[in-house]
Amino acid sequence: MSAVVLELPSDLRHELKEPLGEIYTDTAALLADAGDPIIAVGDMVTYHLIEAGRVPDLALVDERTKRSAVDADVAATINGFDRTRAVANPAATLTAELLAALREGIDNDETTLLDVEGEEDLATLPAVLAAPAGASVVYGQPDEGMVLADCGEAARDRDRVRSLLERMDGDTERAFDLVSV
């Protein structure tokens, strides 16, 4: 198991409920507004993007949605990636393994699927900071839709994301180093 670099304290959980961008229920509309590359965090988001004909450049999945296993047809649809890598990341944490794999996936020219043993939810935060200008991070907002987070240098949410990561328990400097921000 990879070393935990950051852990979400319970007093920050409520701040993660506010979306980092616009919420979409129509995948085609989301794709029309999305930048490039696209980083997908979550099984259902990845599924909907692939069903719409767009394999994400980087996707992180854990074979779960709302704490339950995804349907077999959803799991079977999540394919078509050039590379697949398994990483460990316990719930409410960010491990060195996940952060390094995230950076590697962003830097790689091939499409990459990170199959997370544990939970991938918090990967949205470092993905927003590590993604290049013009990229989009897409993640699920339970019972509402898909959130399209802008990763431009001027995006106000980058400051919010940095603040959230800095207030997590652990070694923020190491986390930023692992994702090169």
Q: What is the mean predicted confidence (pLDDT) over 131-155?
A: 87
Mean pLDDT for 116-134 is 93
Tell me the domain boundaries of the chain: 23-167
| Contacts with 56 (C-beta within 8 Å, 6 or more apart), sequence order | 37, 38, 39, 40, 46, 49, 50, 111, 138
Q: Annotated binding site, which residues?
A: 43, 45, 62, 120, 143
Among 112, 126, 114, which Cα is nearest to 161's?
A: 126
User: Where are the alpha helices (H) located in the chain, listed in sequence order?
Assistant: 27-33, 43-51, 72-77, 96-107, 124-130, 156-166, 172-178
How remote is the C-alpha of 20 from its chain's centroid? 12
Q: Are 130 and 94 in contact (CB under 8 A)?
A: no
Higher pLDDT, 152 or 106: 106
Percent of the chain with pLDDT over 90: 77
Q: pLDDT (tens digit, 9 = 90+) per residue, 35-69?
A: 999 999 999 999 999 999 999 999 999 888 776 77
Greatest Cα-to-Cα distance within the chain, rounded to the nearest angstrom: 40
Mean pLDDT over all residues of the chain? 92
Please report the pLDDT score of residue 4 as a whole number. Answer: 96
Q: pTM here?
A: 0.94
Residue recorded with tokens 């339970």: 142
Residue 155: band (very low, low, confident or very high) from pLDDT cuts 50, 70, 90? low
Residues contributing to the annotated binding site for GTP: 43, 45, 62, 120, 143
What are the tens digits of pLDDT across the range 62-118?
888 776 777 888 888 999 999 999 999 999 999 999 999 999 999 999 999 999 999
- Is 151 in a helix, a strand, or coil? coil
